[in-house]
Amino acid sequence: MIYSKEQKKNKSILYDFPKIIKELRNSQELTQSQVAAEIGVSYQSYQAYELEISLPSLENFVKLADFFEVSLDYMLGRKEY
């Protein structure tokens, strides 16, 4: 899925997702390549998540939440940890 200009304008529920995963990654001093390898996606795919180019599949959302030990709600910007 790619963000449209309208979604960004309307601040869809996933609007904060790229910022949140970048903050989680940086807080653990990890590279994009390291996170990508841990969840089983290519570096380019993970980078696209942080750059707001695409969204992970539901399966990869769950893998990211498990890896960072946060809830899916937190990753979607719905509530704190």
Rounded-to-integer distance, Cα 33 and Cα 18, Å: 16
pLDDT of 10: 47
Q: What is the mean pLDDT of the chain?
A: 86
**14-51: per-residue pLDDT in tens?**
778 999 999 999 999 999 999 999 999 999 999 999 99
Rounded-to-integer distance, Cα 73 and Cα 26, Å: 20
More confident residue, 74 or 6: 74
The predicted model scores a pTM of 0.80
Rounded-to-integer distance, Cα 61 and Cα 49, Å: 10
Please compute the mean of the pLDDT values over residues 63-72 and round it to a whole number. Answer: 96
